[in-house]
């Protein structure tokens, strides 16, 4: 079981810098170890991302449902992922902040339609309340090729790219270590 409360505990850290988390999840009697790199959508990491894409089994690209501009940026990230990533990568799109329905700028249908166009899993999540976070990882696990369910090759990872901050330049920070729980 994915411990989403632990995920949330570290989520604020993830917004300030590129971060690495590792989490094991057992679904349908198969265990997968997620190695999650989170760049918080910061442009400063764009040039580094191809090294993560190269061996990624899956990618979650996240936009903020309360920020229309983040949906446009999401499309750019996905185009880059399709251009530079493995052809068999499992792609998921998460519309984050579904707990802020009254501030919504992107209809769920728009996210779903785009996800269908790019052959991606789609879901709306809330990092604050953990709504649909575990379900997103479970669905990704079920879509992974069978050889990923026993072990990922050395250096393989799952890449998670989060919301692009509203303010130009976004949050600052750098580095990152294994801040996630095992």
**143 or 21: which leads in pLDDT:** 143
CB 164 within 8 A of CB 73: yes
Report which of 33, 47, 63, 30 is spatially closest to residue 146, judged by C-alpha positions.
30
pLDDT score at 77:
85
CB 92 within 8 A of CB 122: yes
Is 146's pLDDT higher than 80?
Answer: no
Name the residue ranges covered by the structural domains of the chain.
Answer: 4-14+32-44+51-161
* Backbone phi, psi, residue 158, to 5°: -105, 135
Residue 37's beta-bridge partner residues? 20, 159
What CATH architecture applies to the domain 4-14+32-44+51-161?
Answer: 3-Layer(aba) Sandwich (3.40)
Is 127's pLDDT higher than 60?
Answer: yes
CB 132 within 8 A of CB 125: yes
pLDDT score at 1:
35
pLDDT score at 18:
53
Averaged pLDDT of the chain: 73
**36 or 117: which leads in pLDDT:** 117
Q: How far apart are CA 121 and CA 115, in angstroms?
A: 6
pLDDT score at 28:
81
Average pLDDT over residues 12-32: 66
Is 121's pLDDT higher than 60?
Answer: yes
Is 84's pLDDT higher than 70?
Answer: yes
Average pLDDT over residues 154-170: 43
DSSP string, 104-137: --S-HHHHHHHHHHTT-EEEEE-TTT-TTHHHHH
DSSP SS3 for 121: strand
Q: How far apart are CA 46 and CA 80, in angstroms?
A: 10
Average pLDDT over residues 135-144: 90
Q: Cβ atoms within 10 A of the Cβ of 4, count?
A: 19
| Residues 6+ away with beta carbon under 8 Å from 150 | 30
Residue 26's beta-bridge partner residues? 31
């Amino acid at each position: 079981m994915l411990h989403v409360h632990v995920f949330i505990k570290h989520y604020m850290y993830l917004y300030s810098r590129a971060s690495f988390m590792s989490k094991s999840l057992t679904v349908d009697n198969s265990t997968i170890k997620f190695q999650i790199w989170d760049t918080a959508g910061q442009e400063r990491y764009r040039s580094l991302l191809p090294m993560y894409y190269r061996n990624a089994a899956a990618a979650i690209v996240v936009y903020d449902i309360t920020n229309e501009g983040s949906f446009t940026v999401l499309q750019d990230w996905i185009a880059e992922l399709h251009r530079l990533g493995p052809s068999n990568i499992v792609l998921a799109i998460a519309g984050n902040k579904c707990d802020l329905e009254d501030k919504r700028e992107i209809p769920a249908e728009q996210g779903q339609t785009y996800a269908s166009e790019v052959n991606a899993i789609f879901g709306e999540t809330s990092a604050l309340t953990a709504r649909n976070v575990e379900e997103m990882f479970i669905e990704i696990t079920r879509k992974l090729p069978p050889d990923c369910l026993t072990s990922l090759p050395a250096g393989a990872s799952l890449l998670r790219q989060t919301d692009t901050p509203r303010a130009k330049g976004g949050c600052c920070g750098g580095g990152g270590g294994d801040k996630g729980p095992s």
